[in-house]
A and B are shown apart, each in its own frame.
Chain A
């Protein structure tokens, strides 16, 4: 198969502005960015809380969350599918085969990453800042805003890592989204579809676009960590 064919397919896609293609890219970004935002909103405070609290079984919780970072996307998708199916407990919500379901599944994949990295970071920072913050009256949970803000670069890197994981997966969004044309078709599920139709150049072209997107994200991540290093001193 001709690699050149794939590159030209990719260029045609990007420059051509085919509405179906634009819709696919927009949906992919919308689903993943929303999932990451939700995971960050929940994961940052939970991770910080976990870092500062002490309770029996805490070690077990930490191990569990670290392990969930490797949750197979297709398993996450299956679990959400069983929850949201009409015959499932949340059936009446009618959320199966919608972009919302895809956001939920991807948020579940990103959440452990955010919690685990936030916890580690906040715990380390807290060790360093504890006495000074206590001196200022910021004891216990009151220290959380300071710690989260001070760790912002490492946390941003963690969130971008979560984005990378979500934007690369196909298993979860395929199962809960159904790959419906024009509605729940994302870049990864479109690649899976074109592959199964045997249109490999187009599939690879889509893949090239996705890789370029991922490269862009990683470039931002790297720049963020560099700026952060300068401020950490």
Chain B
């Protein structure tokens, strides 16, 4: 009779499938790193922004840090606002974002610090090559934004309290535009990260403010290109802070500080400067610039 052996095979298959899962999970709990003398893997949790992750910077510099110290850096990529909240809740050891005002508030409220500047990149205004707002080649971001608002051409905003979003809002203000009063259906807030914003702009042939690093590593450009760059107001500074161990005793103070010390050290700064896409440098290390 062939009926019963089939039944047994099926039950065996299902059982081994479940067993496989358990075994795989048990194995995964101990990653394939060489056995460290201490119990388990050394790691810290860093809450950072989508721009540092999506641009591939961390893929480049983190292995260097790990090789030197044996510390694994686990990065949660969120918008700046969300990353700072993660630090406030104590769900990360280190916060690495790009919104100076928000960072200083974070320190002032006692959630962490001190704040160290690390690097900067710049924002660029991306738009369709056809350029209905007629701003291509301009070096004046304020004038460009005014043109966009006047012509009511589609503009994609991240709308997620990220560093980029906050920079964008600051630029509208610098252009003398009251968004609350003048925004219309041309202003599209999506509440998502930089990659998603670029995808959306590409799909609707709209304008969007992006950090250069994410743009350079973005692969779905469609009909978009850089239209405005070089304005001093498009300068984008990154800062790093340790989450306050007095508020959150479980924070890995020593290892977190080791990461911060490394990233502002000549070695870490060189690693950042060395990161290039197509020969173009994305981030400019400026930890020594104490005013940044």
Given A36-B18, A87-B89, are A197 and B28 also a contact pair (CB < 8 Å)?
Answer: no
- 1/0 per residue A124-143: CB within 8 Å of B? 00000000000000000000
Which residues A147-195 have CB closer than 8 A to chain B?
152, 156, 159, 178-183, 193, 195
> Taking each of A32, A86, A103, A196, which has the highest tally of chain B beta carbons within 10 Å of its own beta carbon?
A196
Is A231 touching B3 in the complex (CB atoms < 8 A)? yes
Segment of A23-31, A60-68, A113-121 engaged in the interface with chain B: A23-31
User: Roughly how many angstroms separate A92 CA and B90 CA in the complex, as a whole number?
Assistant: 11
Other 13 A-B pairs with CB < 8 A, given A180-B76, A195-B196, A231-B7? A26-B24, A26-B27, A29-B24, A34-B22, A94-B250, A97-B91, A178-B76, A179-B76, A183-B31, A196-B193, A198-B198, A224-B14, A227-B7
Q: For chain A, which range describes its interface: under 10, 10 to 19, 20 to 34, or 35 or more residues?
A: 35 or more
Asked, given contacts A29-B24, A37-B21, A220-B13, whether A86 binds B54 with beta carbons under 8 Å apart, the answer is no
> Which residues of chain A have C-beta atoms less than 8 A from B6's C-beta?
227
B220 touches A198 (CB 8 A): yes
* The 7 A-B residue pairs with the shortest CB-CB distance in the complex, in nearest-first order: A33-B21, A196-B195, A198-B220, A86-B90, A30-B24, A30-B25, A178-B76
Q: Report Cα–Cα, A40/B15, bound state, in Å.
A: 12
21 contacts across the A-B interface (CB closer than 8 A): A29-B20, A30-B24, A30-B27, A31-B25, A33-B24, A34-B25, A37-B18, A87-B89, A87-B91, A103-B25, A152-B11, A178-B77, A180-B76, A181-B59, A197-B195, A198-B195, A199-B220, A200-B219, A223-B10, A224-B14, A231-B7
Q: By the criterion CB–CB under 8 Å, are B28 and A198 in contact?
A: no
Q: Which residues of B contact A103 (CB under 8 A)?
A: 25
Q: Cβ of A181 and Cβ of B75 under 8 Å apart? A: yes
Q: Is A210 an interface residue, CB under 8 A from the partner?
A: no
A72 at the binding interface (Cβ < 8 Å): no
Check: A85 CB closer than 8 A to any chain B CB. Answer: yes
Whether, in the assembled complex, A50 has its beta carbon less than 8 Å from a beta carbon of chain B, the answer is no
A183 in contact with B74 (CB, 8 Å): yes
CA distance A146 to B31 in the complex (A): 42
